[in-house]
Amino acid sequence: MSHGINSIGSDLLYHTQTKREAYALYTQGVWDINDTFTLTVGLRYAEDEVLAEENLWRYTELAPGFLPAFGLDMFTYNLLNGGVVADAEAPGGFRGTDRAVNGGFPAAISVYRQFKRTDKETTGRVNLDWNLSDNAMIYLSATSGYRSGGNNLVFFSATPDYDPEELMAYELGYKLQLLDNSLQLNGSFYYYDYESIHTVATEVTPPLVPGGAPGTTTSVLPAPGAEIYGIEAEAMWLATDNLTLGGNFSFTPSEYTKDLFIQDPAEVGTPESLFPDTNKLTQNIKGNQILQVPEFKYTVWGSYGFPLAGGSRLEVLGVYNWIDEVYYSPFESKGERSDAYDRLDLRATWTSAGSNWIVSAFVNNVFNDVGVLQVLREGEAESFRRSAGTTVPRLYGLELTYSLGAL
């Protein structure tokens, strides 16, 4: 064949593997100081052992840079190798064969990295309950948290491993029951102080082969500090025997509190071909909003049951959600921002008197407002492509259930 072998396959095989063994010891004690105050103290020791490896097999071509030393050029080499043969009918009097070498000698390379890490951490919790009455309680707690580190097994990331995430959380909350216990109100004010927080960012990777071009990967990086202030509340009201109403909301301002300079090769405004100085691609994310933490969101819902003749029952349910804008890049770039969106779900369910037949009709996302759940960003080599996962558009259907042996 004059244009080489016609084969179907991949020039790249990439295998990763992670094995994690986690051990933990936990104990907790509760002290009823008196009828009003209760103190809870807990302690936890955790140890995580992580074994990870990445292995890449790749087909490549080794350029025959030594040919000039022997007085050869590519044509002469192909002529001697049988990659080019005389053919009076071909242009130039020669034609190529399946032995022709165009860019170098075929070669298979393998790059392998193995990692092992052990993370150990002792965390604790102190909680004080103040029982104001049988229907009202206030609590105050301080809790330390920990999430083990890991490895970035993404095409040989320039940051192959990252340290654990550490958190100190303070919370002041309340729980109330009103209107003869038909109304339940819960709420809290909290402050999260991260000594280190895992952050997803795009980074430049070294070339896999000498002289090759660098690439980019999306890796987990430990930001040195962050803070989250929050208010959240929820309510559920048994308004009548048939009507139940409820809802919740949260207000969660957040920011990275310490300097973290990250290169941004995926920013369309500063392509690397025009800005070879890496300092132009570096931004300090201090003060930016934390990834995937919407500042405000709320939910309201209601259900109503209709008793029907013969003992059957019809229940209708409606749920409305609203979620504020959220960023999927630490740079607070509009290209990686999900705009605020809402969603209304409606469902009606009929249950037979014997509870063996259940028929449900539903419409999810009535307004057909599609929200973004994740954004993946690429650099100049991929034409600054952005891809996203989204919520499901409007969906409606009918469900039929029959239970054998139901009473």
- pLDDT bin (cut points 50, 70, 90) of residue 312 is very high
The Cβ of residue 279 has, within 10 Å, a number of other Cβ atoms equal to 8
Q: What is the pLDDT of residue 3?
A: 46
- pLDDT bin (cut points 50, 70, 90) of residue 13 is confident
When the pLDDT of each residue in the chain is averaged and rounded to a whole number, the result is 87
Phi then psi for residue 279, to 5 deg, are -60, -30
- pLDDT bin (cut points 50, 70, 90) of residue 54 is confident
pLDDT tens digits along 315-328 = 999 999 999 999 98
The CA dihedral of 145, 149, 150, 154, to the nearest 10 degrees, is: 90
Give the tokens for residue 124: 């604790």
pLDDT tens digits along 238-294 = 999 999 999 999 999 999 999 988 877 778 887 877 877 766 677 889 999 998 889
**Is the pLDDT reported for residue 2 higher than 50?**
no
Of residues 312 and 13, the one with the higher pLDDT is: 312
**Is the pLDDT reported for residue 206 higher than 70?**
no
> Stretch 107-122: mean pLDDT, rounded?
88
> Domain coordinates of the chain in residue numbers?
24-51+118-292, 294-407
DSSP code string of 234-279:
EEEEE-SSSEEEEEEEEE--EEE-S--EEE-TT-TTS-TTT---GG
Query: Can you say how many angstroms the Cα of residue 134 is from the centroid of all Cα atoms in its chain?
Result: 42
- pLDDT bin (cut points 50, 70, 90) of residue 4 is very low
Give the tokens for residue 192: 């999260």
> Stretch 75-90: mean pLDDT, rounded?
84
* % of the chain residues with pLDDT over 90: 54
Of residues 158 and 135, the one with the higher pLDDT is: 135
| CATH fold group of domain 24-51+118-292 | Maltoporin; Chain A (2.40.170)
- pLDDT bin (cut points 50, 70, 90) of residue 52 is very high
